[in-house]
């Protein structure tokens, strides 16, 4: 399980002298065995072999000017990795398995072990690090799939069962209840909407099944609460299957998750701001910025609106809003309840694709021909709306490539003139026809490139 190390204690128990009766006074004792006999064949063990690449700079001072003015080479080291986890067969006819992204991250070989002992090699269909969901596929030969429940109907107190491969011991079953729903703000993933359970989840349970007492899949086990010195303390988290299955469909269809945008930025409502806005609610999301022609703009949202619920879910913080938008698919709608100048209003917005304007670098300068440069807009809780220029593609052996421009380079400035949009870039390059120094970010470091005159 992510972020947590464990100490495994093995207890030796003396054998029971007599088996428990199957019935008392004619009443059969309750057992999960019949349900598990149908469900456990759909839960698999996953073992991976992978490689991580780490780059080390030459032994120069961290603030050395050499890093800024020259593209100095770095030393790359490859480290072999291994991991253990679990997965759930969702489609037996096509061999699709749901698991966690962190289980198969950096893997070049994935071995799936079925409950009947068969070992099969798997291929990666798609991964979504932002929600920690991944889809892999094995040959669809005599597989069993688990039925899927509607996780939106879960209630706190419902009994659940976790099935996985803790500590690599083999398939293991634990039980508990749903302790809480809609957990977020944990810092585990970018987008969070977890089921919390006290069913014991341990290292290796990642990607395993959380099922109800009918054997229907309600979640994908993902993480536990704790630190490196603690074991399981009865606080585990699972991704709701409604969310995981939606991500899975996109990964199968596109190989990636295509998220949309709302186009509204904001901040938390505080009691002090609530008094200033003359509204009774003490929490919510205050809209501070609206992008022109964005879904928020088209829906009629205005700066100063205080959103208190969306799709019948309470919006108490900016994190709630960020999660809700990030977990919706393109084309889905959001029904807002908000306050505007003390009056309650209802609006509906439709999530739209994130459009990236792209131009060829030759529009700025002949030496940049062959580089496709995009204007990227990103929203985050920490920085709000951020706009920057990124190299989407570079054709080898054309001018931009020969000048040292590479895919994923981020442009910062031209001769100390900041450039964040395509319009700013056009102006900056037009004013520097005699040659210029381009400041870019490549990976986790900055460097300068000399751009020759036209």
| Residue of 83, 86, 102, 193 marked catalytic | 102
The dihedrals phi and psi of 448, each to the nearest 5 degrees, come to -115, 140
Query: What does the angle CA 166 – CA 167 – CA 169 come to, to the nearest 5 degrees?
Result: 80
Task: Report the distance separating Cα 123 and Cα 150, nearest Å.
Answer: 28
Best CA proximity match to 428, nearest among 440, 439, 415: 415
Better-predicted residue by pLDDT, 244 or 323: 244
Instruction: Mark whether 132 is an active-site residue.
Output: yes
Cα gap 378→261, rounded to integer Å? 9
Select which of 83, 86, 128, 132 is catalytic: 132
DSSP SS3 for 234: coil
Asked if residue 303 is part of any domain, the answer here is yes
4 pLDDT above the threshold of 50: no
Task: Indicate if the pLDDT at residue 6 is higher than 60.
Answer: no
282 and 410 in a single domain? The answer is no
Domain end point (choices 217, 238, 257) = 257
CATH number of domain containing 392: 2.30.42.10
Smallest CA-to-CA distance from 407 within 355, 372, 367, 364 is with: 372
State mean pLDDT over 144-148: 94
Structure tokens at 351: 């999530």
Asked, for residue 228, whether it belongs to a domain, the answer is yes
217: β partners? 148, 211
pLDDT in tens, 417-445: 888 888 888 888 877 666 678 888 887 77
Q: What is the pTM of this model?
A: 0.69
Check whether residue 324 and residue 349 sit in a common domain. Answer: yes
102 flagged as catalytic: yes
Catalytic residue among 151, 179, 206, 294: 206
Cα separation, 122 vs 133, whole angstroms: 16
Asked if pLDDT for residue 156 goes beyond 90, the answer is: yes
Rounded mean pLDDT, 205-219 = 92
pLDDT of 13 above 50: no
Q: Are 410 and 425 in contact (CB under 8 A)?
A: no
Q: Are residues 318 and 415 in the same domain?
A: no
297 — phi, psi (to 5°)?
Answer: -65, -45
- Average pLDDT, rounded, for the chain: 81
Using a pLDDT cut of 90, give the percent of the chain over it: 29
Are 348 and 224 part of one and the same domain?
Answer: no
d(CA 224, CA 195): 11
Q: Which 8-state DSSP code applies to residue 453?
A: P
Of 4-18, 108-122, 340-354, minimum mean pLDDT range: 4-18
Give the domain range for residue 123. 1-15+38-56+74-257
Tell me, yes or no, whether 251 and 388 share the same domain: no
Pairing of strands 417-418, 410-414: antiparallel
The model's pLDDT over 362-394, given as tens digits with 9 standing for 90+, comes to 888 888 888 898 887 766 555 556 788 888 888
pLDDT by residue (tens digit) across 81-116?
787 889 999 999 999 999 999 999 888 899 999 988
What is the C-alpha separation between 24 and 22, in angstroms, rounded? Answer: 7
Same domain, 126 and 6: yes
Q: How far is CA 325 from CA 112, 134, 264, in A?
A: 34, 20, 10
Is residue 397 flagged as an active site residue?
no
């Amino acid at each position: 399980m992510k972020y947590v190390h464990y100490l495994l204690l093995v207890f030796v128990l003396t054998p029971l002298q007599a088996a428990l009766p199957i019935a008392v006074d004619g009443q059969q004792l309750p057992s999960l065995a019949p349900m598990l006999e149908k469900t456990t064949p759909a839960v698999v063990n996953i073992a991976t072999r992978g490689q991580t690449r780490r780059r080390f700079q030459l032994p120069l001072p961290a603030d050395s000017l050499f890093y800024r003015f020259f593209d100095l080479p770095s030393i790359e080291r490859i480290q072999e990795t291994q991991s253990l986890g679990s997965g759930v067969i969702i489609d037996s006819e096509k061999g699709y398995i749901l698991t966690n992204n962190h289980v198969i991250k950096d893997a070049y070989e994935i071995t799936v072990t079925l409950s009947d002992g068969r070992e099969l090699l798997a291929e990666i269909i798609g991964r979504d690090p932002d929600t920690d969901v991944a889809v892999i596929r094995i040959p669809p030969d005599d597989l069993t799939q688990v039925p899927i429940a509607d996780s939106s109907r879960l209630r706190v107190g419902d009994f659940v069962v976790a099935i996985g491969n803790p500590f690599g011991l083999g398939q293991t079953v634990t039980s508990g209840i749903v302790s809480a729903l809609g957990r977020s703000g944990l810092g585990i993933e970018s987008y969070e909407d977890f089921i919390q359970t006290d069913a014991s989840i341990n290292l290796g349970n990642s990607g395993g099944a959380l099922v109800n007492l009918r054997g229907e899949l309600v979640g994908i086990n993902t993480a536990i609460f704790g630190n490196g010195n603690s074991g399981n303390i009865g606080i585990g988290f699972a991704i709701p299957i409604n969310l995981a299955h939606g991500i899975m469909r996109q990964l199968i269809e596109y190989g990636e998750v295509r998220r949309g945008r709302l186009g509204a930025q904001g901040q938390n409502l505080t009691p002090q701001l609530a008094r200033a806005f003359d509204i009774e609610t003490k929490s919510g999301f205050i809209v501070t910025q609206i992008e022109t022609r964005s879904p928020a703009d088209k829906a009629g949202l205005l700066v100063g609106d205080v959103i208190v619920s969306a799709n019948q879910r309470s919006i108490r913080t900016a994190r709630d809003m960020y999660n809700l938008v990030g977990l919706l698919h393109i084309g889905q709608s959001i029904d807002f309840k908000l306050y505007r100048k003390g009056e309650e209003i209802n609006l509906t917005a439709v999530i739209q694709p994130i459009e990236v304007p792209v131009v060829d670098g030759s529009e700025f300068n002949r030496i940049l021909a062959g580089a496709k440069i995009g204007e990227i807009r990103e929203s985050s809780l920490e920085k709000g709306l951020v706009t920057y220029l990124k190299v989407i593609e570079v054709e080898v052996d054309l001018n931009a490539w020969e000048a040292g421009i590479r895919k994923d380079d981020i442009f910062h400035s031209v001769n100390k003139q900041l450039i964040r949009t395509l319009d700013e870039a056009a102006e900056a390059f037009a004013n520097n026809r005699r040659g210029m120094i381009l400041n870019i970010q490549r990976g986790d470091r900055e460097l300068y490139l000399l751009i020759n005159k036209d």
